[in-house]
A = this chain, B = another copy of it.
Amino acid sequence: MAALDPVLNDIDTDLDNALERLFAFLRIPSISTDPAYAGDCRKAADWLAADLTALGFETSVNETSLHPVVLAHKPKPGAPHVLFYGHYDVQPVDPLNLWETPPFEPRIATDAAGNKKIVARGASDDKGQVMTFVEACRAHLAMNGELPCGVTLLIEGAEENGSQGLPEWVAQNREKLASDIVLVCDTGMWDPATPAITTSLRGLAYFEVKVTCADRDLHSGFFGGAARNPIHVLSRIIADLHDAEGRVTLPGFYDGVHERPPEVVEQWRGLGLTAEKFLGPIGLKEPAGERGRLPIELVQSRPACDVNGIIGGYTGEGTKTVIASTASAKVSFRLVDDQDPKVLAETFEAFVRARVPDDCRVEVITYKGSRAISLPFDMPELEIAKAALAEEWGVPAVTVGAGGSIPIVGDFKRILDRNTLLIGFGLDDDRIHSPNEKYDLRSFHKGTRSWARILAAFGARG
C-alpha cells in the first residue's frame, strides 16, 4: 500500500495550483436550464474531459438528450472500484444585481473572522465539490503514479434541470459504469467543524402552471370588473395549496408520509436546532410550514410545497393599467418516504384545473420528479468513509438526512443496483442557488484531503 502522507502533503503544497484549475472551471457559465448557455455547458464538459485526460483517465464526452456527460475511467485490476458522480452545470444567476462581483469571475474573499471563501456561481454546487475529488486523484497519481482503487467519474451537465437525459444514458451504458459503490460529492457538512454523510434525501416534483384568460392583454379601465384576471386565478390556486395550519391541502398528499419514531424526534430536539438558530441567520424567526414541528423535522422528514417563481402582467417600473392575458408560476414539492411524484402530478393537475374558470385555459407542465431516498446503514463502505473523515477532521462524522433532492441516486440503485455514499463539504451558508454563492477554502482543501484518505482506505480494503 502506497504511503498516504506524501499525497496529503502534495495536496497542501499544490493548493494554489488547484485553485487556479478550479477558477478556470468556474469561469465557464455552464447554466443548464437556459438554452442560451448550451455552448458553455459543452465547454465545461470539454474542459473537465481535457483535465481528466491529462491525468491519464480514458475519457469521453457523451451526448444525451440535453447536455453531454463526461465519463472518465481508470481501472485497477484486483482493487475495489468506485463510481464518482457530480455535475458541471450550475444554477442561473438572477437576480444578477445582488451579486457583489460577477458570478463567473471567481475570487477569494476573506470574512471578518479571517476565513477565506471561493466566491462564484458553482463554487459549492457543484464544481468546487467535484474538484475536491479530482484533486485527490491528481495527488495520488502525482505521488504514487497510480490510484489506490479503480475509479470511474461520471460528471453530468443537467443536474440543475432535473438530470434530463441522464437516467436513459446510464441505462444504456451500464457496463461502462460497473463499480462496487457510488460516491457523490454534492451535499454538506453538519457544521463547519463536523463532517457528515447524508443517508436520506427528499424527493422532488416540479411543475409549471400557465393560466390564460383573455386572448390579449386588456386595458383595466375598459375591462376591469368584467374580464377575468389570470393573476387572480393563479393567486387563488397558490393560496389554496396550504391551509391555516401550514399543511398542503392536495387530497391524499400525506398518504405516503410516515411519522418518525418519538426517539428520533427527541434526538433532533436534543441537537438544539431551534427555530431561532435555524432561521435567524437568514433573517426569519417563525417556521412557515406545518405547525408544531421542529425546523429540522420540517426540512428533513416532512414534505413541503413552494412556489419557486411567479410572473404575470406589467413588472417594470411605475404603473401600467393592464389586465394580463397570461400568468404563470413554477411550483415544486419536496417529497418524503413513500410519496409518489407520478401520483402527485395527477393530483396537482386536477387541483389546478378545478380552480380555473371554464372560459380560461391552463397548461400544467410536469418536469422530472423523484422519490425520496433512504440509504442502508449497513454498507461496509459507510464505516470506512466515516473513519477516514474522522481522521481528517478530528471529530466523528455524523450521518444526516438532507432536505434537497439528488434524483440520480435512486436511478443508480434501480439501474446499476449500487448504493451511494453522499459525502460533501458544503456549508449551510454557501448561498447555493442564490447570489454570492461561495465555498469555504477550508471545505475545498480539507475536502480534497478527505477524498484522498477515503480512496486510500477503500484501496487498502481490496
Residues of A near any B CB (own CB < 8 A): 32-35, 91-92, 94-95, 98, 160-162, 202, 204, 206, 213-229, 231-232, 234-236, 238-242, 275, 278-279, 282-290, 295, 298-299, 302-324, 327-330, 332, 334, 357-360, 367, 402-405, 428, 431-435
| Inter-subunit contact A319/B161 (CB<8 Å) | yes
| Inter-subunit contact A316/B92 (CB<8 Å) | yes
Q: What 6 A-B pairs are tightest by C-beta distance, nearest first?
A: A221-B404, A33-B318, A225-B304, A215-B283, A309-B313, A239-B239
In Å, the complex CA distance between A240 and B235 comes to 9
| Inter-subunit contact B220/A332 (CB<8 Å) | yes
| Inter-subunit contact A218/B434 (CB<8 Å) | yes
| Inter-subunit contact B219/A322 (CB<8 Å) | no
Select one of B223, B229, B307, B431 contacting A313, CB under 8 A: B307
In Å, the complex CA distance between A432 and B222 comes to 10
What would be 9 A-B contacts, judged by CB atoms less than 8 Å apart?
A: A222-B402, A223-B403, A225-B302, A225-B334, A236-B238, A308-B321, A309-B320, A311-B315, A315-B328
**Known contacts A214-B282, A226-B295, A227-B279; is A221 also within 8 Å of B320 by CB?**
no
Contacts of A161 in B (CB 8 A): 318-319
| Inter-subunit contact A221/B359 (CB<8 Å) | no
Contacts of A306 in B (CB 8 A): 220, 224, 229, 232, 323
A82 → B minimal CB distance (Å): 25
In Å, the complex CA distance between A402 and B225 comes to 13
Contacts of A367 in B (CB 8 A): 318-319
Contacts of A218 in B (CB 8 A): 282, 433-434
A29 → B minimal CB distance (Å): 14
| Inter-subunit contact B327/A332 (CB<8 Å) | no
| Inter-subunit contact B226/A287 (CB<8 Å) | yes
| Inter-subunit contact B404/A219 (CB<8 Å) | yes
Contacts of A311 in B (CB 8 A): 310-312, 315
In Å, the complex CA distance between A94 and B318 comes to 13
A170 → B minimal CB distance (Å): 20
| Inter-subunit contact A225/B308 (CB<8 Å) | no
Residue of A285, A289, A307, A431 with highest tally of chain B CB at under 10 A? A307
Contacts of A312 in B (CB 8 A): 307, 309-311
| Inter-subunit contact A229/B288 (CB<8 Å) | yes
In Å, the complex CA distance between A311 and B312 comes to 7
Contacts of A240 in B (CB 8 A): 239
12 more A-B residue pairs beyond the given contacts A214-B279, A235-B238, A236-B238, with a C-beta to C-beta distance below 8 A: A160-B319, A218-B282, A219-B434, A221-B402, A226-B275, A226-B287, A227-B279, A227-B288, A231-B238, A308-B322, A309-B312, A310-B312
Contacts of A435 in B (CB 8 A): 216-217
Chain B residue at smallest Cβ distance from A125? B219
In Å, the complex CA distance between A358 and B287 comes to 12
Residue of A161, A302, A403 with highest tally of chain B CB at under 10 A? A403
Select one of B229, B242, B403 contacting A224, CB under 8 A: B403
A308 → B minimal CB distance (Å): 5
